[in-house]
Chain A
Amino acid sequence: MPRHVRMAGPFHDRVRVHMSVTMSHPYSDLPPSAFWRPAVARMRADRLERLYDPKFRLTVNSAVATAGSCFAQHLGRALRRAGLAVLDAEPAPPGLGADFLQGHGFNLYSGRYGNIYTARQMLQLLEEVVLGRPDPAQVWERDGRWYDALRPGVDPGGLDSAEEVLAIRLGHLQRLAPMLASADVLVFTLGLTEAWRCRRSGRVYPTCPGVIAGSFDPGRHEFVNFTYPEVTEDLHRLRRVLHGFNPAMRLLLTVSPVPLAASATGGHVLPATQYSKATLRAAAGDFASAYADVDYFPSYEIVTNPAARGGFFAGDLRQVTPAGVAAVMRVFLAAHGLKGRKAAEVAAEDAEELICEEALLEAFQR
C-alpha cells in the first residue's frame, strides 16, 4: 500500500483510496527508509535501519588502514575492537600508557602522521611517500625546539634539531610505503575544507603556523578554503596514488561530523562549518558514485541526525558523545556483518579524549 499524507474525514479517505488505486509514480513503491517520517522522525536516532548498504564488505581478514580528522580515531578503535587487522606502520613501544602514547601520535592511525584534515593533506602525504624524501623547508621552530610542520602534534615537546626532524620524517615515509601496499582498504575521514598552506610549495598544514610551533608570516603562508571541484579532484588523484601502492586497494570515505573549532574565512563559524561539511559530503558522495572500489559511509548524517536532538554532541556542541560514536559504529559494523563490543565498554573507551590539534584554536578566542 503506498503511503500518503494522512488526511482526516471520509472524503479524504475516499480520495486517498482513489489515488492509490489509480496513480503510480516513482514514490509509490519505495520502502519506508525513503520517507522522512518513518525512517527518521519516528525512528530512534541510535536505531537507524537500512541507512548503509556497503559496496564491499570488510571482514576480520581485511587489512585496513585508517587516516583522517580526529573523528577517525573513533573509527580506528572500533575497527580494532571488532577484530579487524588495522594496520600500523609505526607501532608503539611496549609498557606505556594509552594517553601518553596517543599524545605522541601512536595508536591513533595506521601511521604516526597525526590528524589529516583535508583531502589535499592526505594527497600530499601519499605523494611524499612516493617521492621518499621530506621537504627540508617544512620544519618549524619554537623556543629552540624543532617540529615537523606536517605533523607538529606528534612530538609535543619538539625535537632537538631540524636534522632530527628530517631524519625521523624520512623514516616515517619509508614505513608508510609497505603499509599502504599491504592495505586492502583505506578508511579516510574528511574533516575540513579550510587550511593554511605554504605559498612557495603549496603544501597544506594540519595547523596554522604559529599555533603549535613555527610563526605565521603572511608573505609565506596563505589561507585556503578548498572548493567542491578542488576536493573532488584531490580525491581522484588520491585514488590514483593509492592504486600505485596497491591496485586492488579500496577506499572507504566518511565525513567527520565535528564542527570547525574556528573559521578563518572572516565569516561566522556556523555557515563556514556548513559550507565545509556540505562540500566534503557532496564531493565524497559523487566521488564514491563514480567508482566501484570507493564507498561512502554516512557517519556525518548519523551524528547530525535531527532525531538525536543534538544528543550526539557533547556539551561543547563539537565533540561527539560516546553514544553518538556507538550509534555510528552500530550501523557500520552491522552493515559489514562484524561484531562490536558491549555498548558500555565502547562508551568507556570512547570517553578517552581525542587528539585534535584543531581544537587548540579555541584557545585563541577573545
Chain B
Amino acid sequence: MSAARLRLLFIGNSHIGAPRLAYAADPLRWPDWEIDFLGMLGGNFARLDLVGGALVPTNEKLAAEMQYYNMVRRLEVGGYDAFAIVGGLGWTGMAALCAAHRSLGFPSVMAGATGVQLVGRQFLDAALRERFRKSAAGRLRQRLDSLGKPVLILPEPMPSAECTAARARYAAYVDMVERGDAQFWRDWFRRCAEAELGRAAQVLFWPEAAAIAGAYTRPELMRGAMRLTPHRDQPQPETDFAHGNAGYGAMMMDQIMAALPR
C-alpha cells in the first residue's frame, strides 16, 4: 500500500454493498485510491454530525449501529481526499410523486390520461428539489461541504427488471414505466438532482450499460446482491429487486474513478 495514494471514503446505506463487494473481489482493479467504506441503515448516515473533522453519531443508538456495522464509534474524515455518497436519493420512491400529479409535458398526459391531478411543471420541479434537499444524501453533502473535498453522489440502482414480480411493492414505479413516463421522469430527476446537488457535488447517475428500457436495471447485475452486514456476506433475499451485486458495484467503481480528479 503506497502512502502516496489518495484516500476515498464511501458513505451510504445498504446500497454501499455493491461497490464494497466489487472492491473486495478485485482491489487491484482500482489501484489509485485507498478506499474505505462506512455503511449505516437506511438514512441514518445523514444523522451523523461532523464535529471537529470527525463523523460522530448523534445518539447512543446510532453509535451502537455505527459500531455494529463499521467497528468504529466515530470516524475521522479530515484525512480523506474525496467522498462518495451511495444511496439516499430515493429514485424508486420518487415515482410516487408523479403517480397522481403530473404536468402538461408528461407523455401520459399528452396521450390523454384521465384521472390525473394536473399541476404546474414548476411545482414538480420544486417538489423534486425539496426532496433532494431533504434526502439523506443531500443532508450529508451539506455537512461535508465544509471539508472542501470532492463529493460524488450515486443514487441507488433503478429496480431490477424482475421487480414486476413484486408488483404491489413497486406499483407506482411499474405503473410509471407502463404508462410511458419513466424516461421523461428520469431525465427530470437528473436535471433537478444536478441543479440542487450539483453545485457542491457531482452526481453520477446509473451506468447506461446497466439499464433496460431506461427504467430498470439488468437483472443479472442485481441477483446475488449482499446485505449490509458486518461480519460475513449474507445475500439479499430472492424477493429483493433493489440492490446491485458486485457486477453493478464494479460499474459504479469505474464511474467513480473516471470522475475523481487524477
Contacts and interface: CB of A to CB of B under 8 A. Distances in A.
Interface in B118-175: 118-123, 126-127, 130-131, 134
Interface stretch (A14-22, A89-97, A203-211, A256-264): A89-97
A104 B123 contact: yes
Contact of A167 (B96, B101, B104, B130): B104
Interface in A27-59: none
A133 interface: no
B119 A168 contact: yes
A94 B126 contact: no
B195 interface: no
A94 B131 CA distance: 11
A135 interface: no
B155 to A, nearest CB: 16
Contact of A96 (B98, B116, B117, B127): B127
Interface residues of B, number: 22
B97 A93 contact: yes
B104 A175 contact: no
Name, among B93, B99, B117, the residue most crowded by chain A CB atoms within 10 Å (CB to CB): B117
Interface in B97-123: 97-101, 103-104, 116-123
B138 to A, nearest CB: 13
B126 A104 contact: yes
Given A95-B93, A95-B96, A100-B127, A160 B120 contact: yes
A13 to B, nearest CB: 70
A48 to B, nearest CB: 41
A220 B119 CA distance: 29
A159 interface: yes
Interface string A89-116: 0110111110010001000000000000
B30 to A, nearest CB: 35
Contacts of A96: 97, 127, 130-131
B contact patch SS: helix
A152 to B, nearest CB: 12
B131 A95 contact: yes
Contacts of A100: 126-127, 130
Given A93-B100, A94-B97, A159 B122 contact: yes
A57 to B, nearest CB: 33
Contacts of A93: 96-101, 127
A91 B117 CA distance: 9
Given A95-B96, A164-B120, A157 B126 contact: yes
A160 B101 contact: no
A175 B115 CA distance: 9
Nearest to B127: A96
A304 to B, nearest CB: 37
A94 B130 contact: no
A93 to B, nearest CB: 5
Interface string A149-167: 0000001011110011001
Contacts of A163: 104
B211 to A, nearest CB: 24
Contacts of A145: 122
A163 B103 CA distance: 12
B191 to A, nearest CB: 15
A245 B235 CA distance: 58
Given A160-B120, A171-B118, A97 B104 contact: no
A163 B105 CA distance: 12
Contacts of B116: 171
A361 B131 CA distance: 31
A157 B119 CA distance: 12
Interface string B169-186: 000000000000000000
Nearest to A172: B118
A305 B103 CA distance: 47
Given A94-B96, A95-B97, A160 B127 contact: no
A160 B87 CA distance: 32
A167 B118 contact: yes
A160 B121 contact: yes
A175 B117 contact: yes
B121 A97 contact: no
A152 B122 CA distance: 14
B69 to A, nearest CB: 26
A259 to B, nearest CB: 32
B75 to A, nearest CB: 30
Name, among B93, B96, B130, the residue most crowded by chain A CB atoms within 10 Å (CB to CB): B130
A155 B100 contact: no
B97 A155 contact: no
Contacts of A94: 96-97
Interface of B: 93, 96-101, 103-104, 116-123, 126-127, 130-131, 134
24 contacts: A93-B97, A93-B98, A93-B100, A93-B101, A94-B96, A95-B97, A95-B131, A96-B97, A100-B126, A100-B127, A155-B122, A155-B123, A157-B120, A157-B122, A158-B122, A159-B121, A160-B120, A163-B104, A164-B103, A164-B104, A167-B104, A168-B119, A171-B116, A175-B117
Given A93-B97, A96-B127, A171-B116, 16 more contacts: A93-B96, A93-B101, A93-B127, A95-B131, A100-B126, A145-B122, A155-B123, A157-B126, A159-B121, A159-B122, A160-B121, A163-B104, A164-B121, A168-B118, A171-B117, A175-B117
Closest 8 CB pairs of A and B: A171-B118, A157-B122, A159-B120, A93-B101, A168-B118, A93-B97, A100-B130, A155-B120
